[in-house]
Amino acid sequence: MKILIINGPNLNMLGLREPGIYGDRNYATLCTLCEQWCAEEGMECELFQTNHEGAIVDKIQEAYGRFDGIVINPAAYTHTSVAILDALKAVSIPTVEVHISKVSDREAFRQISYVSLYALRTIEGMGFEGYREAICALKKHLNK
Ligand code: DQA
């Protein structure tokens, strides 16, 4: 079982970026934890981070036939990107959406998630642990 973990814009700035909201651990730590959690579940993973919407679309398209599942934190593109939603629908790969912060308790403009219209589940407000939850949810779904 091989999964792709996609992180969108500004998540490479974790640690520096609004630590009161996103915590003080950095993106490298998140990657190490995700690799560890996937290994514990007996899953292979690839990690991908970009600040560019089109690069996320390209990566999702390239995942077709190569990955069994996707964990995605589209970051700010969550709230704007029909293109990412359409790419996920096009490849039809089971996907779990994750957010570090509790977006549902934040600004009005964060209350729309296009990706959630496709995702099996949306996990929010659990910090980095949310990725573990997403990995396990994906495994459970793929084992059905
Ligand atoms: C985020 C929440 C988004 O609203 C925000 O734009 C991000 C990160 C999160 O992980 O909590 O960049 O996806």
Which pLDDT tens digit goes with each residue over 44-53?
Answer: 999 999 999 9
- Nearest Cα residue to 27 out of 128, 140, 135: 128
Residues (pLDDT < 70) of the chain are none
Q: Active-site residue numbers?
A: 22, 99
Q: Is 1 in the pocket of ligand 1 (CB under 6 A)?
A: no
Give me the sheet containing 95-99, strands edge to edge: 44-49, 2-7, 69-73, 95-99, 121-124
Q: Is 110 in the pocket of ligand 1 (CB under 6 A)?
A: yes
Total-model pTM: 0.98
Nearest atom within ligand 1 for CA of residue 102:
11
Q: Which two tokens stand for residue 139?
A: 């495994």
Q: Is 103 in the pocket of ligand 1 (CB under 6 A)?
A: yes
Q: Is 75 in the pocket of ligand 1 (CB under 6 A)?
A: yes
Q: 3 near 67, Cβ under 8 Å?
A: yes
At residue 30, the pLDDT reads 98
- Nearest Cα residue to 135 out of 60, 52, 74, 71: 71
Nearest atom within ligand 1 for CA of residue 110:
4
Please tell me the distance between residue 101's alpha carbon and the centre of ligand 1 in angstroms: 7
Residues 81-117, buried b or exposed e (16+ Cβ, 10 A)? beebbebbeebebbbbbbbbbebeeeeeebeebbbbe
Residues recorded for the chain:
144
Please tell me the distance between residue 28's alpha carbon and the centre of ligand 1 in angstroms: 17
Where does 2-73 show beta strands of DSSP type E?
2-7, 44-49, 69-73
Q: Is 98 helix (H, G, I), strand (E, B) or coil?
A: strand
Please tell me the distance between residue 142's alpha carbon and the centre of ligand 1 in angstroms: 26
Please tell me the distance between residue 100's alpha carbon and the centre of ligand 1 in angstroms: 7
Instruction: Determine how many CB atoms are found less than 10 A away from the CB of residue 55.
Output: 15
Q: Is 83 in the pocket of ligand 1 (CB under 6 A)?
A: no
